[in-house]
Amino acid sequence: MPTRFVVIGGGLAAATAVSELRSLGFDGAIDLVAAEPRRPYERPPLSKGYLTGADDRESVFVHAEGWEAEYDVTPHLGVAARGIAEGRVELDDGTSLAFDQILIATGATPRPLPVPGGDAPGVHTFRTLDDADALRASLAEGGRRVVCVGSGWIGLELAAAARGYGNEVTVVTRSRAPLAAALGDEMGGVFRELHEDHGVTFLLERQVLAIETGSGDSATGVRTDRELVPADVVIVGIGAVPDTELAETAGAAIDGGILVDESMRTSVEGIFAAGDAANAFHPVLGARLRSEHWANAIASGKVAAASMLGRDAALDDVPYFFTDQYDLGMEYSGYAPLADDAEVVVRGDRRSGEFIAFWVQGDRVVAGMNVNIWDVQYQVQRLIRDRVAVDRTQLADSAIDLASIA
Ligand SMILES: Cc1cc2nc3c(=O)[nH]c(=O)nc-3n(C[C@H](O)[C@H](O)[C@H](O)COP(=O)(O)OP(=O)(O)OC[C@H]3O[C@@H](n4cnc5c(N)ncnc54)[C@H](O)[C@@H]3O)c2cc1C
């Protein structure tokens, strides 16, 4: 029976795995190594309540202060793991730790803007508490010209926060609609209208060529293939790259993330991966899915912990994601890769701001998004998971209880 576990990472997947190991009864040693100098924390509040000032700093942490004693874990904070070989992990403070099993939950790093001036002062990428503090300092006074490059989830949440502080906000994106890659043009249009109603300007189908710095070295504008957009603050939200370097040192197979099976096992015996860094085989989808969402960090952290203890466990949840922007709250459940050419069926009135959109392939729901309607995501997930044969008219009819569609 293994007695020494090491968990690498300072996010939700790592923190969840530690608590799950203890709740499953593991009583051996656990070391947690995290590059950031603080106990593990969650990222969703960073671009929402923490950035706007509605949530305090303490609320972002996964476990309360005193967690080391509560979970009997030895933390190594502010220390990065550099290499894994022969049952030891080398840390960048010159020490190393022996392990029987190791979990790599190293997350992802924002993709930098690959243009001249892309890393100039005044250009923000966004992933950490430090990033949130820096951006809040730039936005909080209001009255600044903020340009968001990218129109994915984080770009739009940051645009909403920037507007909330009374800044002028322009979103520059190469897409035809915000969130087009995740939701398609039609439902992306819902978010476009939402932001436009709050005074955001969209420059769509633009290629960013450079960040201008004028005569100084700070960002003064975003040059696109069509115009120069003046800016005091530039936010880059163009996706994130999984942190796979550590797993590579161990010889684990990598392809768009650390490859793991449905039990979070990498190609190397005794090495597991979870969260944003892992590209997991999804048994229902029958394909790999690197999910970069909060619910996946929790679920994969739990499955990894169980697998490390030699138990049978598989991650087969319907992927789930949420966002909050202005007064819109939304939950998305489903298999985005299957929704690409699906038909969108809407239950309720889109313009009322309260509706459910279903992505339907043949007679099956492959994804669903409830907007400002709550406690229905389990019904939406049931339709997807159980592959319920649906009638589009019934699906669109709010008078028919979702639970009765079987
Ligand atoms: C701003 C923001 C907002 C989000 N909002 C939502 C949302 O609304 N809804 C939703 O579903 N999802 C959201 N997400 C996604 C969700 O937060 C992520 O899926 C989740 O944080 C992934 O957790 P993780 O533990 O895998 O990785 P992370 O949270 O990225 O943690 C990885 C940690 O590992 C550390 N690390 C990396 N390499 C090493 C190393 N070599 N040694 C030691 N430590 C290392 C990093 O410093 C980091 O602390 C958001 C993400 C961000 C960034």
Which tens digit of pLDDT belongs to each residue from 356-392?
999 999 999 999 999 999 999 999 999 999 999 999 9
CA 326 to each of CA 14, 133, 175, 322, 394: distance values in angstroms, whole numbers, following the listed order = 30, 20, 22, 14, 31
When pLDDT is averaged across residues 89-98 and rounded to a whole number, the result is 98
Atom of ligand 1 minimally distant from the CA of 41: 29
When pLDDT is averaged across residues 328-346 and rounded to a whole number, the result is 94
> Which of these CATH numbers, 2.60.120.40, 3.50.50.60, 3.40.50.2300, 3.30.1330.10, describes 4-109+240-308?
3.50.50.60
Distance, CA 191 to ligand 1 centroid (Å)?
24
CA–CA separation, 41 and 14 (whole Å): 10
Domain boundaries, the chain: 4-109+240-308, 112-236, 327-404
What mean pLDDT is reported for the chain? Answer: 96
The answer, yes or no, to whether residue 1 has pLDDT greater than 80, is no
pTM greater than 0.95 (yes/no): yes
Residues 6+ apart with CB under 8 A from 310: none
Supply the pLDDT for residue 216. 82
When pLDDT is averaged across residues 17-44 and rounded to a whole number, the result is 98
CA 213 to each of CA 114, 120, 124, 131: distance values in angstroms, whole numbers, following the listed order = 15, 8, 14, 21
For 307-342, give the DSSP string. HHTT------PPPEEEEEETTEEEEEEE-HHHHTTP
Give residue for tokens 């951006």. 135
Q: Do domains 4-109+240-308 and 112-236 have the same CATH topology?
A: yes
Tell me the pLDDT band of 290, cut-offs 50, 70 and 90. Answer: very high
Question: Is the distance from the beta carbon of residue 124 to the nearest atom of ligand 1 less than 6 Å?
Answer: no
Tell me the pLDDT band of 331, cut-offs 50, 70 and 90. Answer: very high
Supply the pLDDT for residue 406. 83
- Mutation choice for ligand 1 from 82, 258, 294, 377, CB with most ligand atoms inside 8 A: 294
pLDDT tens for 203-221 read 999 999 999 998 888 899 9
Question: Is the distance from the beta carbon of residue 33 to the nearest atom of ligand 1 less than 6 Å?
Answer: yes
Distance, CA 40 to ligand 1 centroid (Å)?
10
CATH number of 327-404: 3.30.390.30
CA–CA separation, 173 and 229 (whole Å): 12
**332 pairs with which residues across the strands?**
321, 369
Question: Is the distance from the beta carbon of residue 319 to the nearest atom of ligand 1 less than 6 Å?
Answer: no
Class of domain 112-236: alpha beta
Distance, CA 338 to ligand 1 centroid (Å)?
25
The answer, yes or no, to whether residue 188 has pLDDT greater than 80, is yes
- Dihedral class, residue 277 (left if φ above 0, else alpha if ψ from -120 to 50, else beta): alpha
CA–CA separation, 243 and 271 (whole Å): 15
**371 pairs with which residues across the strands?**
330, 355
Ligand 1: residue whose CA is nearest its atom 19:
293
When pLDDT is averaged across residues 51-59 and rounded to a whole number, the result is 97
What value does the CA radius of gyration of the chain take, rounded to a whole number of Å? 22
